[in-house]
């Protein structure tokens, strides 16, 4: 094997890091299922023509082709770059077999053929939830998906996340109320605020969106409103613009922010500069900052779309939000924010005194496993010191010495005690690897804490 270098943009984790990622995936799945979202997976490829319909993303698509494809086979497949395009196709394809409103979650890899740059992945895992209706979809689902993601964030050993919410109706109604002829052009200009600053956006608004200086100033004033509660409503009203669509947007955004602020204080802000580039959003839009790590960009984004998919007869409106699992896990690992308590699932290593006695050690292991205790048997009848080091290097907490009157050694404390392989159970906190905020693991393992809630440092 000559080429064993990493590939830029294709992250891979070491075993202990993978345990952190698995914990994130498990918790996210648990929360999604707790709210009745059903799991789906779609194939990794879609017809290229479907992928390329989204103009902005076409430069990022990976084309897939059989190496010995016949001349009659066109290169017509690409790897999906998100989970929304395949989900829209899935809904149309299987609509006759689905019950609407259809609530699904989807946790899969996606691929983007971007030129490598720091913090950009070419392969990464997303975790999406969407609620999709047939013909209609009630507004309250726009509140719901934000609450579900806020609950997921609370369940994860991560820094606080701040969900930034805006509403397309609010923005469009405001622009229309100002007399803007092309509200989409206004939105595109405002979307550049973080990149080019207010002066340049003001120029764009006047020159490209055709606004007066006063109207452009109003748009910039709107974009600067940011409140952790529903007080944004009064601030918008104070700008003196009126339009029925603005009223509707203000009411919806107040409902989302009010409900989130009540249930998860500090988890959400109304941020009226949030635009989200994608054309298809029509109501609430979401972005999420990881507090203290804002520079990595949004870790969780989405919004309401009145037409996720349509077959000409039926239209499927939806609302969805997508967690960037790889981006999040990458931040947690690269900043040392979380740690796994061990690099293997194993809770107990059963020692082997000599190879002739291996069957006895296997019997102890089988007994422990029958009660759900992850157990390995030592690979070799080395001296016990070496077998203990085998466990220690992997973070396995217990070594079992079959035939010994006190067979069970906790190698962290050194304590060795009597135990029956037919009945012994580890403390719940030791059964599986724990994944905790880095500073907490040290403390809790020092004091031999067996409180399982330390799996989740923020509960």
Site for a second copy in 311-350 (CB under 8 A): 311, 343-346
Query: What is the 8-class DSSP label of residue 295?
Result: G
Q: Phi and psi of 98, rounded to 5°?
A: -110, 155
The single residue among 24, 28, 40, 216 that binds a second copy, judged by CB under 8 A, is 40
Nearer of residues 56 and 199 to a second copy, judged by Cβ: 56
Whichever of 74 and 446 has its CB closer to a second copy, that residue is: 74
What is the contact mask toward a second copy in residues 234 to 273, using x (rule: CB under 8 A)? Answer: -----------------------------x----------
Instruction: Show contacts with a second copy in window 126-145 (CB under 8 A).
Output: 133, 138, 140-141
Cβ-proximal residues to 54 (8 Å cutoff; 6+ apart), any chain: 85
Task: Tell me the C-alpha distance between 122 and 11, whole Å.
Answer: 9
Complex with a second copy: residue 237 or 380, whichever CB lies closer: 380
Instruction: Name the H helices within 323-446.
Output: 325-334, 358-370, 384-394, 428-431, 438-446
Would you say 131 and 318 are in contact if contact means Cβ atoms under 8 Å apart?
yes
State the nearest-atom distance from the C-beta of 449 to a second copy, in Å.
Answer: 22
Measured CA to CA in angstroms, residue 183 lies from 176, 216, 458 at distances of 7, 12, 42
Rank residues 100 and 176 by Cβ distance to a second copy and give the closer one.
100
| CB neighbourhood size of 19 (10 A) | 24
Interaction with a second copy in 403-422: which residues (CB under 8 A)?
none
The pairing of strands 281-290 and 416-417 is unpaired
Q: Rg of the chain's alpha carbons, rounded to an integer? A: 27
Give the shortest CB-287-to-a second copy separation in angstroms: 25
Site residues for a second copy, 87-106, by CB under 8 A, read: 88-90, 92-94, 97-99, 101, 103-104
Q: Which residue has the tokens 């016990």?
A: 384
Buried residues in 184-215 as b, exposed as e (16+ CB within 10 A): ebbbbbbbebeeeebeebbebbbeebebeeeb
Q: Of the listed pieces 84-92, 164-172, 226-234, 266-274, which binds a second copy according to CB under 8 A?
A: 84-92
Which of 27, 28, 83, 111 binds a second copy (CB under 8 A)? It is 111
User: Nearest distance from residue 326's CB to a second copy, in Å?
Assistant: 11
The piece of 53-61, 174-182, 224-232, 297-305 that touches a second copy (CB under 8 A) is 53-61
Between residue 201 and residue 230, which ones bind a second copy under the rule CB under 8 A? none
DSSP state of 12: -
Interface residue with a second copy among 203, 213, 277, 369 (CB under 8 A) is 369
| Count of residues touching a second copy (by CB under 8 A) | 91
Q: Which stretch binds a second copy (CB under 8 A): 267-275, 283-291, 375-383, 401-409?
A: 375-383
Of 141-200, which residues contact a second copy (CB under 8 A)?
A: 141
Token duo for residue 329: 């896990």
Decide whether 123 or 410 has the Cβ nearer to a second copy: 123
N-terminal to C-terminal alpha carbon distance within the chain: 47
């Amino acid at each position: 094997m000559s080429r064993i270098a990493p590939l830029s943009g294709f992250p891979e984790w070491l075993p202990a890091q993978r345990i952190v990622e698995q914990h994130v995936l498990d918790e996210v799945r648990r929360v999604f299922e707790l709210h009745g979202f059903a799991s789906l997976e779609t194939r990794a490829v879609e017809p290229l023509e479907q992928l390329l319909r989204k103009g902005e993303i076409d430069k990022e698509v990976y084309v897939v082709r059989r190496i010995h494809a016949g001349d009659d086979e066109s290169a017509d497949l690409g790897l999906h770059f998100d989970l929304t395009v395949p989900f829209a196709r899935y809904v149309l394809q299987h609509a006759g077999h689905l019950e609407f409103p259809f609530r699904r979650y989807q946790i899969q890899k996606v691929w983007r053929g971007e030129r490598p740059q720091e913090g950009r992945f070419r392969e990464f895992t997303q975790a999406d939830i969407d609620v999709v209706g047939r013909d209609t979809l009630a507004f309250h689902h726009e509140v719901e998906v934000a609450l579900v993601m806020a609950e997921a964030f609370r369940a994860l050993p991560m820094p606080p996340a701040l969900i930034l919410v805006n509403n397309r109706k609010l923005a469009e109604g405001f622009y229309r109320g100002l007399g803007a002829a092309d509200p989409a052009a206004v939105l595109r200009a405002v979307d550049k605020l973080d990149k080019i600053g207010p002066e340049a956006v003001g120029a764009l608004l006047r020159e490209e969106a055709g606004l007066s200086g006063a109207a452009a100033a109003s748009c910039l004033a709107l974009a600067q409103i940011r409140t952790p509660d529903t007080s944004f409503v009064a601030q918008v009203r104070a700008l003196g613009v009126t339009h029925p669509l603005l009223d509707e947007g203000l009411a919806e955004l107040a409902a989302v922010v009010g409900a989130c602020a009540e249930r998860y204080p500090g988890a959400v802000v109304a941020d009226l500069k949030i635009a989200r580039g994608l054309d298809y959003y029509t109501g609430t839009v979401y972005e999420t900052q990881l507090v203290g790590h804002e520079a990595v960009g949004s870790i969780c984004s989405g919004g309401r779309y009145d037409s996720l998919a349509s077959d000409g007869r039926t239209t499927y409106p939806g609302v969805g939000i997508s967690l960037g699992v790889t981006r999040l896990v990458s931040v947690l690992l690269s900043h040392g924010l979380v740690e796994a308590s061990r690099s293997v699932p194993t809770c107990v290593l059963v020692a082997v005194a000599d190879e002739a006695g291996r069957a006895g050690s296997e019997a102890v292991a089988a007994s422990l496993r029958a009660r759900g205790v992850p157990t390995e048997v030592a690979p070799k009848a080395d001296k016990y010191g070496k077998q203990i080091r085998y466990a220690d290097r992997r973070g396995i907490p217990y070594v079992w010495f079959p035939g010994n009157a006190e067979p069970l050694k906790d190698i962290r404390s050194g304590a060795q005690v009597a135990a029956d392989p037919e009945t012994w159970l580890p403390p719940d906190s030791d059964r599986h690897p724990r994944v905790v905020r880095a500073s907490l693991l040290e403390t809790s393992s020092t004091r031999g804490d067996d409180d399982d809630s330390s799996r989740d440092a923020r509960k």
